[in-house]
Amino acid sequence: MSESIAEALAAVLAAGEPAAIVTLSEAKGSTPREAGVAMLVTATGLVGTIGGGTYEWEGIAAARRLLAKGGDPVTLRMALGPETGQCCGGHVTLRIKIADETVLAERRIREDATLRARPEVIIYGAGHVGRALALALHPLPFSTRIVDSRADEIAAVEGPTVLRIVDAPSRIAEAAPAGAAHVVLTHSHALDSLICATVLERGDYAYLGLIGSETKRASFVSAFRDLGLPEARIARLVCPIGGTTVRDKRPSVIAALVAAELIAVFA
């Protein structure tokens, strides 16, 4: 099934298969997930999660009973304590109902709003690290674009990331929405410098990361000072990316470390 509940539900309804929606309608105290999350349950499949553990399994079982027998929506209230084999200490309320076209419309509105609210991450450079980062970010709550002037490199990107072949990536930096994250990984130091300078000049970025060493950072910082860019903005340049605690140059590891940095920035 699709990772999108709305897309999965549309497919299920089109196939004439009954399905139920389990929504975590209330979460008090310490709980694995926040109120509002949901999952789609069919007789044999699941899409989404409300947090796992005993209460999720209780929700799945209740949804399948509802699918088998029909009837009105069901409400389950549970304390996440010893009686459920959990020690979170919180309380949850689950709302379970048969899914129909009205539910589908509601899910589409919710998912569209969630997608529009996702922070934008722009990856400049579709080389090994850029491709690994695009793949690492795919399941995370970001809207990711990867841009490069090289068609062959763009063609090698895996996953549904938005792809752009551009002659002047710095123009993407100029047009980016305020609050975006910029990860600069191109094949050219001159191009890296131009993109970074463009982002620094704007100043309205959430994150600016540049692949490279401390030596590269020092060289770039000196050049940015010569351009008269504000010191406070220059200080926010992240280089090396991924931190300095773990020193590993494998693209997949760098991508994982940068993904963690971005999660921390937008948390």
CATH of the domain at 250: 3.40.50.720
Do 143 and 256 reside in the same domain of the chain? yes
List 78's β-bridge partners, or say none: 92
**Residue 156 pLDDT:** 85
Residue that finishes a domain, picked among 84, 100, 115 = 115
**Assigned token pair, 260:** 């963690």
Do 183 and 226 reside in the same domain of the chain? yes
**Residue 83 pLDDT:** 60
pTM of the model: 0.80
**Residue 160 pLDDT:** 65
Amino acid 172 reads I
**Residue 80 pLDDT:** 83
Give the 3-state secondary structure of residue 247. Answer: coil
Q: How many domains are there within the chain?
A: 2
Do 199 and 86 reside in the same domain of the chain? no
**Residue 164 pLDDT:** 75
Do 129 and 205 reside in the same domain of the chain? yes
**Residue 1 pLDDT:** 41
Amino acid 96 reads I
Please choose, from the candidates 6, 109, 95, the residue with its C-alpha nearest in 3D space to the C-alpha of residue 50: 95
Do 151 and 243 reside in the same domain of the chain? yes
Do 111 and 30 reside in the same domain of the chain? yes
Do 109 and 217 reside in the same domain of the chain? no
Average pLDDT, consecutive stretches of 10 residues, N- to C-terminus, the chain (267 residues): 82 96 93 91 94 90 95 91 65 95 94 91 95 92 91 81 76 94 95 96 96 95 96 95 84 96 94
| Residue burial 54-89, b: 16+ Cβ < 10 Å; e: rest | ebbebbbebbbebbeeeeeebebebbbeeebebebe
In angstroms, the CA 245 to CA 114 distance is 33
**Residue 258 pLDDT:** 97
Do 19 and 146 reside in the same domain of the chain? no
Do 151 and 249 reside in the same domain of the chain? yes
Do 201 and 222 reside in the same domain of the chain? yes
187 neighbors 197 (Cβ within 8 angstroms): no
Residue that finishes a domain, picked among 48, 82, 115 = 115
Please choose, from the candidates 123, 184, 193, the residue with its C-alpha nearest in 3D space to the C-alpha of residue 157: 123
Do 65 and 163 reside in the same domain of the chain? no
Do 167 and 210 reside in the same domain of the chain? yes
Residue that finishes a domain, picked among 74, 96, 115 = 115
Provide the residue range defining the domain that includes 238: 118-266
